[in-house]
Structure 1
Amino acid sequence: MRNNTYLLILLPLLLSITSSCQNQKAAADVLYSGGTILTMEDDVPQVEALAVKDGKIVFAGSKEKIKDFIGKQTVQVNLENKTLLPGFIDAHGHITSRSGMSQAVDLSPTPYGTVNSIPELQTTLKKYIDKHQLAVNMPLIGNGYDDAIMVEHRHPTRGELDAVSLTHPLIVIHTSGHASVVNSAMLKLLQIPEDVKDPEGGHYGRDVKTNRLNGKLEENASFSALMKLMALLPKPKETDGISQELKDFIKAQDEWLSYGQTTICDGRTMGVGLALLKEVADKKLLKADLVYFPDFEANKKDWESFLPHYMRYESRLKFGGFKFSDDGSPQGKTAWLTEPYIVPPEGKDKNYKGFPIFSDETLYDDLKKIFSKGVTAQLHVNGDAAIDQALRVIGKLKAEGVYKQELRATLIHVQNSRPDHIPKIKEIGVLPSYFSAHVYLWGDWHYQSVFGPKRASFISPAKAAKDAGITFTMHHDAPVTPPDLLTGVYAAVNRTTRSGMVLGPDQRIPVIDALKAITINAAYQYHEEDSKGSLKVGKLADLVILDKDPLAIDPIQLRSIKVLETIKEGKTVFKQKEK
């Protein structure tokens, strides 16, 4: 009886202590409420409040129940009618290319730059040379010129770059990254003779009258020139104990974060990029997760050395598979088509269809190697002939039991897709990742000069993929464009070009589907849907706060949305400065 009496006396105290411990354990680090919270979860698409503890989501539900997670140290964030979403995921971009081009002269046209003609390109380069008082033989790189936008609608020539300088070796890189133009001094520096032969998967442009090199380099001719130039350039000196390469990478990473991305992609890592990524990881400089895809051809000799790192984050860096570039750029007119370009590029006849990078045999052998090891791939396929090749080769490997759908191989860009590709994509079990911003940025060019009305109306066919039940993602392909996924959302939803023309209205998708393409679907592409891509208990607190609700505004205003804050595992990694 005495023991029972003691129990009765102690029970309230024990319950009080237990309750206190439970509340202390449940207390969140941060609570979010007071705005729109979009989860990207179909069963609960929107919640009133979100709680985060130790970098993970511990609650997503009603404001009433959030009270259970409030402790003395809990920070309560009032969203003030702003919108909270899962952090955006970069399904395909090139951050090492962006950081590598940080010191290049910006030659971008509107809406991201000011170079809209060849004379403006020449003036921009001349001003840079004068302002920085470059030594007479110092090489100079320009990046981002776009013949689709410049008033001449053509590439600059060797002669026009010679007019800028006969002593400074100059190279200007096309916005697609698949072509460049050099002057005579650069040809001399790189030891490219007049009788040079085209490399496999590449082309040297020539003047149709004289057969002299006109300075234009396409695909592997351009890539090899850049690699050779980078090896010749003097390495910048360290300042403040940090190299210029690391400073440029940090700057590029901050740019990605400012666009709301908590997972970043390096979609064709090669050369110095591999060493750079290892260095930034080793020095704990990554604020976001980074998934990289080494170029298989460039790393063919030691490709198996990557395998121990597959699908494992090590200091925020993960080897996600290999990259294959099967053709070129549609706006640069190097993509591989089955029907000719509407207006062939200079020096080509009316039957010009672009060209492949690989033979079927090479692509088959290489993909078989990695698929046999359970490693996935991103395949750059812009033209319909390149898409045909990828589906043909992967289809054969699937029939042989080598490719399995759970690998989630991804077709990157899939720009010049045809309706008959859709069922094949579903049957084989690959994921299309669309560069949807093409509709807005280059839709008029595709309509008038690249594909013509019929083919142009089916670029980035997200609606056809959705109707077929195919999981698709969207990407920005930076530095082809800034790492701006919301412009891709705008383009996929509105299908409106720069001129205001609606291109393929039947391929418009709802805003929610475009948002899923850059969140939960992109997480699925990376085999990370269990930890990222939606706001659900147990997932990482990777978040983005927008100034407007994408689901509530007029879709034509989607490009006006601003990223206010980017949060990686509960910690702010970008915040818009208050004006």
Structure 2
Amino acid sequence: MDILFENGTIRTLERNSPDAQALLVRNGRIAAVGGRTAVEDQTGIDVRRVDLAGRTLLPAFLDAHSHFTAVANQFLQVSLEGCTSWADMQDRIRDYIRRERIPAGQWVTAQGYDHNLLSERRHPDRLCLDAAAPDNPVVICHQSGHMGVFNTAALERLGVTAQTPAPAGGVIGRENGTLTGYMEENAFLEFQKRVPMRPLESFLAAYRKAQDLYASYGITTVQEGLLRRELVPLYQALLADGSLKLDVVAYGDPEGAEAARQAFPESVRQYHRRFKLGGYKMFLDGSPQGRTAWLRRPYQGEQEYRGYGTLTDAEVLDMVRRAGTDGMQLLAHCNGDAACAQYLAALDAAAREGVDLAALRPVMIHAQLLGRDQLPEVRRLGVIPSFFVAHVYHWGDVHLENLGPGRAEAISPAGSAAEKGIPFTFHQDAPVIRPDMLETVWCAVNRVTRQGRVLGREERVDVRTALEAVTVHAAYQYFEETDKGTLAPGKQADLVILDRDPLAVPQEELRDIRVLETWKDGVPIFCREA
């Protein structure tokens, strides 16, 4: 059956093509787009007409970086989002244990707290969590995903003692020789992955809920931003279940990527059952709001502390070489400008050795403090920065405290990148924040903090450029520009219907636009109830 969209605003986002009056879908792809009469003349006998009724049709959004399994996992955890004190967090954990009837001895996991928003202005400790759950091992994850806290029972289950050494690039919190329960970066990630997973059936249901969440924000392509070996059996079950309705692109650490290559040989760099192994992922530092991002100059108020890196220069170069040898794309988490410098130096060295960077399309994830002086090198090496630009709103005021006004105003330098002709993308790093693309577009265009301060006026971009970052350039980042990102004949019919036109509303109202419907391959997968 042909599907004809008409009577609304159709924004193709094709730079050299006008917007359209009608769009025709056939067999899951766009068959025609343009003037109403010309498109209607190409319809077959059996046609379903979709009356846009003045609403706006756009290409669906692509998630340039998030953690699909972690988004699913949040449906199986205690949410600490919005907590303002240690007592709030304790109440949430107690209520969860009581409501879900969690038996003594069973693990309890929680996520989403931000110490910057707590009245104590610091992370809780194991004793705080012991009081909330005296009979259960507990781990809570910071909203950034880079740090967290274990209670006493959890530390004992994991075999962590006061003598346990911290992995390189990580911290195990100690005070007067006693464990505090706090860990950050590689230490937290290492012990967090040893926490037992929930039953498979629970995870499959959570994956379905996660897909519904992404689709409700107009997203049809999502990312598994760190595929570890432990997650491969989950993906085997997920693909066998046949419940993927979104395209999922995975990037693994060396062990995870190798396990995925063995498990899904038909999914390497191409979709099979909506899953694709896109490449490799590495972490070079932490988070600026957690003061673990690696900076070229010390944090505000510090004499020497600049955060820290997580890999040596040799390890980073080896990873770039491996990506080149294997023909796999490489994503590097770089928040601080020192981490960005390390990545750029490794890419430059690899290029001089003969690695074809243009074929890899290397991505710099977050690029929060990527320096304006580093942008020429970004362009020369063909690096795609994927900015977490919503940081401006969610943590801009914290960055002012941690970095001072000069550096804080320059975070996510999208305006400067656009001036230099550098293609970039935007993301939300879900579940760090919800995968709300229209909020991200609003952030990029307005750059307003929670407290109402404009942060980095010169780094604002216009609405079309912001939309291209989550459609056109995101498709390019995934090597999918011939299939996704714009509304053009032959491309997949991945579509989103909005209640208003983002290119016509006042820019202050962008985040108030609602996603009404999301279509994947010409099939509606989300429809907002009236």
TM-score by length of 1: 0.88
Q: Does 1:285 align with 2:243?
A: yes
Shift of 1:297: 5.3
Shift of 1:202: 1.1
Shift of 1:163: 2.4
Contact persistence 1:296–1:303 (CA under 8 A): no
Contact persistence 2:93–2:133 (CA under 8 A): no
CA deviations on 1:426-473 (whole Å, 9 max, x unpaired) are 01111100011101111011112x211111111111111110011111
Q: Does 1:455 align with 2:407?
A: yes
Give the structure 2 partner of residue 58 of structure 1: 31
Match of 1:421 among 366, 371, 374: 374
Q: Does 1:47 align with 2:20?
A: yes
Shift of 1:403: 3.5
Shift of 1:476: 1.1
Give the structure 2 partner of residue 212 of structure 1: 178
Residues 421 and 30 from structure 1, CA distance in 2 versus in 1: closer, same or farther, beyond 3 angstroms? Answer: same
Q: Does 1:225 align with 2:177?
A: no
CA deviations on 1:267-314 (whole Å, 9 max, x unpaired) are 111133222223222332111211111122555688788776322111
State how far apart, in whole Å, the 2-side matches of 1:326 and 1:67 are.
Answer: 53
Contact persistence 1:146–1:174 (CA under 8 A): yes
State how far apart, in whole Å, the 1-side matches of 2:210 and 2:183 are.
Answer: 26
Match of 2:104 among 136, 140, 150: 136
State how far apart, in whole Å, the 2-side matches of 1:165 and 1:392 are.
Answer: 47
Report matched runs for 1:52-201 at 5 Å.
52-109=25-82, 115-201=83-169
Root mean square deviation of aligned Cα: 1.8
Percent of aligned pairs with the same amino acid: 40
CA deviations on 1:22-74 (whole Å, 9 max, x unpaired) are xxxxxx61111111111110112411111111111111111121230344420
Give the structure 2 partner of residue 3 of structure 1: none
**Higher deviation after alignment, 470-479 or 165-174:** 165-174
Match of 1:276 among 234, 237, 256: 234
Give the structure 1 partner of residue 507 of structure 2: 555
Give the structure 2 partner of residue 7 of structure 1: none
Match of 1:340 among 298, 304, 308: 298
- Kindly provide the amino acid, as one letter, of the partner of residue 406 in structure 1: A
- Kindly provide the amino acid, as one letter, of the partner of residue 191 in structure 2: A
Contact persistence 2:260–2:277 (CA under 8 A): no
- Kindly provide the amino acid, as one letter, of the partner of residue 245 in structure 1: F
- Kindly provide the amino acid, as one letter, of the partner of residue 131 in structure 1: R
State how far apart, in whole Å, the 2-side matches of 1:519 and 1:160 are.
Answer: 44
Contact persistence 1:297–1:324 (CA under 8 A): no
Residues 297 and 273 from structure 1, CA distance in 2 versus in 1: closer, same or farther, beyond 3 angstroms? Answer: closer
- Kindly provide the amino acid, as one letter, of the partner of residue 193 in structure 1: T
Give the structure 1 partner of residue 398 of structure 2: 445
State how far apart, in whole Å, the 2-side matches of 1:297 and 1:54 are.
Answer: 38
CA deviations on 1:448-507 (whole Å, 9 max, x unpaired) are 2x2111111111111111100111111111111111121111111001011110000000
Report matched runs for 1:125-524 at 5 Å.
125-207=93-175, 210-230=176-196, 235-236=198-199, 243-296=201-254, 298-299=256-257, 309-342=267-300, 350-448=303-401, 450-524=402-476
- Kindly provide the amino acid, as one letter, of the partner of residue 274 in structure 1: V
Moved over 4 A (4+): 297-308
TM-score by length of 2: 0.96
- Kindly provide the amino acid, as one letter, of the partner of residue 431 in structure 2: P
Number of residue equivalences:
530
State how far apart, in whole Å, the 1-side matches of 2:318 and 2:306 are.
Answer: 25
Residues 323 and 45 from structure 1, CA distance in 2 versus in 1: closer, same or farther, beyond 3 angstroms? Answer: farther
Residue aligned with 1:557, SS: helix
Residue aligned with 1:573, SS: strand
Structure 2 gaps, min length 5: none
State how far apart, in whole Å, the 2-side matches of 1:217 and 1:383 are.
Answer: 20
Residue aligned with 2:467, SS: helix
- Kindly provide the amino acid, as one letter, of the partner of residue 76 in structure 1: R
Residues 59 and 463 from structure 1, CA distance in 2 versus in 1: closer, same or farther, beyond 3 angstroms? Answer: same
Shift of 1:523: 0.5
Residues 393 and 265 from structure 1, CA distance in 2 versus in 1: closer, same or farther, beyond 3 angstroms? Answer: same
Shift of 1:551: 0.8
State how far apart, in whole Å, the 1-side matches of 2:262 and 2:523 are.
Answer: 36
- Kindly provide the amino acid, as one letter, of the partner of residue 24 in structure 2: A
Residue aligned with 2:438, SS: helix
**Higher deviation after alignment, 163-172 or 498-507:** 163-172
State how far apart, in whole Å, the 2-side matches of 1:173 and 1:139 are.
Answer: 14
CA deviations on 1:309-342 (whole Å, 9 max, x unpaired) are 3221111111111111111111122211122222
State how far apart, in whole Å, the 2-side matches of 1:381 and 1:545 are.
Answer: 34
Contact persistence 2:232–2:260 (CA under 8 A): no
State how far apart, in whole Å, the 2-side matches of 1:490 and 1:343 are.
Answer: 31
Match of 2:521 among 569, 573, 576: 569
Contact persistence 1:394–1:403 (CA under 8 A): no
Residues 164 and 343 from structure 1, CA distance in 2 versus in 1: closer, same or farther, beyond 3 angstroms? Answer: farther
Contact persistence 2:146–2:188 (CA under 8 A): yes
State how far apart, in whole Å, the 1-side matches of 2:361 and 2:274 are.
Answer: 21
State how far apart, in whole Å, the 2-side matches of 1:128 and 1:277 are.
Answer: 28
Contact persistence 2:498–2:516 (CA under 8 A): yes
State how far apart, in whole Å, the 1-side matches of 2:383 and 2:163 are.
Answer: 42
State how far apart, in whole Å, the 1-side matches of 2:38 and 2:385 are.
Answer: 40
Contact persistence 2:24–2:43 (CA under 8 A): no
State how far apart, in whole Å, the 2-side matches of 1:513 and 1:183 are.
Answer: 46
Give the structure 2 partner of residue 8 of structure 1: none
State how far apart, in whole Å, the 1-side matches of 2:480 and 2:260 are.
Answer: 27
